[in-house]
Amino acid sequence: MKRTVFVLVSAILLAAPAAWATSRTLSAVANVQGQALFQSDVRVFNPSYTATITVTAKYHYCQGGTCNHEKDESITISPRQAAAFNDIAVSLFALPNTQGAIEFETDAADLVVTSRLYSNSLLCQGSVGQFVPGLEDSDAFATSVLTSLQQNADFRTNIVMFNPSSSVSLPVMVQVFSGDSGSQIGSNFTTTLGPEVFFPSSNLFTLVGATSGTSSNAYAKVTTDGTHPVFAAASVLDNHSQDTIFVKGELDTTAPPQGTTVTIIVSQFNFDPGGPVSAPVVLTVGVDYTLVFHSIDVQHGFSGVSDLNLPSTDNISPGQDFVITHFRPQAYQRGLYGFHCIHVCGDFDSHLTMIGTLLIQ
């Protein structure tokens, strides 16, 4: 049994020699020496009972308004040791007044990283702060949603992001919605995050241009190019107590494409598109279509494609379009469907040739 596991692990390592065995990312780390001192106290735990492990800590940070900085430190952790790095930006990296993300990478099979980000302000002596977990690579998503967000007299919300790719410059869009109605608050915020670049803590509502907006139940949607993932996280802060909670981005579903109108020009003896002279009507699964049949000469008809539950009509006339709304083809409906004119629109034999096809792909 042990030998099988060993062989499997070896095979995986051989298949991906460049990858680290284990990676954990802290998506929010800070040392801010402003009105209040914010700092991150980090623990890096080695679960092994026998092996001392070496961990490379890569701090991708912002300083003085730019965020394309990186500093690496190597740390060694004994078996069963939880190495403590209080105020890690200063104690490990010697970088006061910075914020960013830290990637912890090791060849060892396992690693546990936890942290507490808190304000050590003189105004409120001591504070709990927020627990910031060391995230796995699979916690970054191409589409993520952040919930439990608030912006009003009592609370405010900040957002941070980190692009973990070492090679891809990533377009990112941030949107805010009301959790109650689903309607968008503010407008789309777009930016590009370079490889391994951190997006510094920013007020979410200000970011999307909703400076006067308030909500006690908002959520944010963070979308990349649809393929490459980004770490997204929010911090909800109590304006009175300065208590904070950490909100990790969760996997969200991709938005369906926007509604599309397809206009089919109907004339003796053709549908354009459709046929027989023109190419088929081509529709894509998942898209919300409005089909408009528009006659440019005499009265025509359309046989409902009953397999698709499309309605039929014998009256498509100049000035009277036939409109089918909200037709959204489903995956199981992929294929080619025939239709034809059902109102005798001229010479009977020619009318009989007025057939078309609809392709769902």
Shortest reach from residue 159's CB to Cu ion, in Å: 57
User: 24 vs 294, which CB is nearer to Cu ion?
Assistant: 294
CA angle 92/93/99 to nearest 5° reads 115
Q: How far is the CB of 289 from Cu ion (least distance, A)?
A: 22
Beta carbon of residue 263, minimum distance to Cu ion (angstroms, whole number): 17
* Cα–Cα distance for residue pair 307/333, rounded to 1 Å: 9
Provide the terminal-to-terminal Cα distance of the chain, rounded to the nearest Å: 47
Shorter beta-carbon distance to Cu ion: residue 186 or 301: 301
User: Which CB atom, from 149 or from 341, has the smaller least distance to Cu ion?
Assistant: 341
**Smallest distance from the beta carbon of 307 to Cu ion, in angstroms?**
21
Q: For the CB of residue 349, give the shortest distance to Cu ion in the complex, in Å.
A: 12
Residue among 88 and 341 whose Cβ is closer to Cu ion = 341
Of 140 and 354, CB closest to Cu ion: 354
Binding site for Cu ion (CB under 5 A): 300, 341, 345, 354
Residues 360/283, Cβ–Cβ less than 8 Å: yes
Dihedral sign for Cα atoms in the order 67, 163, 134, 121: positive
DSSP class of residue 141 equals B
Three-state SS at 13: helix
Counting Cα atoms < 13 Å in the Cβ hemisphere of 66 gives 3
From the CB of 345, what's the least distance to Cu ion, in Å?
3
CA distance 45 to 111: 6
Backbone angles phi, psi at 350, to 5 degrees: -70, -40
Residue 242 or 317: the one with the smaller Cβ distance to Cu ion is 317
Contacts of 122 (CB under 8 A, 6+ apart): 36
